[in-house]
Amino acid sequence: MTAWFSPGRIEVLGKHTDYAGGRCLVMALDRGVTATVTDGPGRALTATSGSLPGEVDLRDGASLPAGHWGHYLRTVVGRLEHNFGPVRGGHVAIDATLPLASGMSSSSAMIVATALALAHHNGFPATDAWAATLTSDEALATYLACVENGSGFGPLTGLRGVGTRGGSEDHTAMICSQPGTLGLFDFAGLVPVRERSIPLDPSLRFVVVMSGVLAEKTGSALEHYNRSSELARALTQAWNGATGREDANLGSALHAVPDARARLTALVRDDAELTRRLQQFLTESEDLIPAAAEALARGDLTRFGELVDASQQGADAGLGNQIPETRRLAGSARELGAHAASAFGAGYGGSVWALVDAEDADAFAATWFERYLAAFPQHADGASVLVTEPSARARPVAGWTVA
């Protein structure tokens, strides 16, 4: 029997920047997803979830409803076998302390936990293919992102993903996070680079409200999510076409060419949609995130809150991924005295975080959540609230993992 836990994550800042080669400020949560693998007879491989209905045959190609949790596990099994060899038969049990499609990347946490549990249960980390390619935590995080989006990673060739065209921000937060600390990562290269670690003052807490509006990566939000990704790729293609370069993403262009920012802006000035997408990326990645990280590190919470407000406004105007619920949550958190507040994740639903004083966190959470339900009573059954702080990376569950 082998069990691995993967935390969820809070994207403090980094709205649709990672897959475009930008920066993200992230942390792991103290709750997430546990995958437990047990052997079974023959080659049959099934999965159940303690919080979601049904049993899934992980080797059956039969279609599942859009957004079904079984898509993620089938993707993991297929990719591991494609890259490392047969996965022996058995059963995968999924247990979550984090609601699916909440914006805290429970779907990616399911992929990370399941992939690590199955990989260790089948001895894949001891193979030459694993040892030669997954040489660091950052490389492992990037590979697990490639499992999700279907792309290849070095010699580990790609296979179908879950349908999103995203990056590795979520997986990096889950694999590389440190307790009590926010991580600032740059995603311009093949693997992310940690630019700095920022300990969170122990007197502060994050409060998160899950709006109750689901944002499944394989469901209704997929088309909107992928449109932002397509625009980022179109910007990179336009840049390479105009310059004769072969930059992998916008971030690598900015690193390589001193005046790339001005040249990119001029290149798309006649296309309103591309201009909005570019300016949101540039402002978020190049201006707001470095400044906000510095403000938080020096304890200037007023400045931090101002920069986070600008990020929230930029997502609404530049990405169009905010909805009335997330706008209301961010605004009301600030009205109630939060140092900062922002929606996070893919958008089009999901969650909003607020940074508050630890001594007031529980009372703040209750009042903030009460105000939200008063404004949106239709979400009473699906919305929830939690108080958390930066937590540790994905890890084996003590007492259950075997070599």
Rounded to whole angstroms, the Cα distance separating 183 from 376 reads 33
The verdict on residue 102 lying in a domain is yes
pLDDT at 403 over 50: no
Q: Do residue 26 and residue 130 come from a single domain?
A: yes
Which pLDDT value is given to residue 226?
A: 75
Q: Do residue 177 and residue 46 come from a single domain?
A: yes
What's the CATH code of the domain at 317?
Answer: 3.30.70.890
pLDDT at 380 over 90: yes
For the purposes of burial, counting CB atoms within 10 Å of the CB of 105, is it exposed (0-12), middle (13-18) or buried (19 or more)?
buried
Q: Do residue 243 and residue 288 come from a single domain?
A: yes
Q: What is the mean pLDDT of residues 65-73?
A: 87
Range of the domain at 265: 204-388
The verdict on residue 267 lying in a domain is yes
How far is C-alpha 45 from the geometric centre of its chain's CA atoms?
27
Q: Do residue 304 and residue 319 come from a single domain?
A: yes
Which pLDDT value is given to residue 398?
A: 74
Q: Do residue 247 and residue 168 come from a single domain?
A: no
Which pLDDT value is given to residue 347?
A: 75
Q: What is the mean pLDDT of residues 72-93?
A: 97
Residue pLDDT, tens place only, 301-322: 999 999 999 999 999 999 999 9
Of 153, 173, 199, which residue constitutes the final position of a domain?
A: 199
What's the CATH code of the domain at 46?
Answer: 3.30.230.10
Work out whether strand 23-39 and strand 90-96 pair parallel, antiparallel, or are unpaired.
antiparallel
The verdict on residue 261 lying in a domain is yes
- This prediction has a pTM of 0.93
Of 149, 182, 199, which residue constitutes the final position of a domain?
A: 199
109-120 b/e with 16+ CB inside 10 Å = b?
Answer: bbbbbbbbbbbb
Q: Do residue 49 and residue 119 come from a single domain?
A: yes
The verdict on residue 277 lying in a domain is yes
Strand partners, 396: 4
Of 165, 199, 233, which residue constitutes the final position of a domain?
A: 199
Angle subtended at Cα 331 by Cα 310 and Cα 105, rounded to the nearest 5 degrees? 75
Strand partners, 385: 209
Residues 6+ apart with CB under 8 A from 371: 332, 336
Q: Do residue 104 and residue 229 come from a single domain?
A: no
Chain mean pLDDT for the chain: 93
Which pLDDT value is given to residue 402?
A: 46
Residues 6+ apart with CB under 8 A from 348: 213, 215, 220, 221, 224, 225, 321, 323
Residue pLDDT, tens place only, 24-38: 999 999 999 999 999
Q: Do residue 76 and residue 188 come from a single domain?
A: yes
Q: Do residue 121 and residue 214 come from a single domain?
A: no
Percent of the chain with pLDDT over 70: 95
Which pLDDT value is given to residue 225?
A: 62
Task: Compute φ and ψ for 342, nearest 5 degrees.
Answer: -160, 145
pLDDT at 218 over 50: no
Q: Do residue 135 and residue 217 come from a single domain?
A: no
Rounded to whole angstroms, the Cα distance separating 107 from 294 reads 31
Residue pLDDT, tens place only, 101-116: 667 888 899 999 999 9
Q: How many domains are contained in the chain?
A: 2
Task: Compute φ and ψ for 39, nearest 5 degrees.
Answer: -75, 155
The verdict on residue 192 lying in a domain is yes
Residue type, 347: G
Banded model confidence at residue 184, pLDDT cuts 50, 70, 90: very high
The verdict on residue 363 lying in a domain is yes
The verdict on residue 403 lying in a domain is no
Q: Do residue 253 and residue 376 come from a single domain?
A: yes
Q: Do residue 186 and residue 233 come from a single domain?
A: no
**64 CB-side CA count, 13 A:** 21
pLDDT at 216 over 80: no
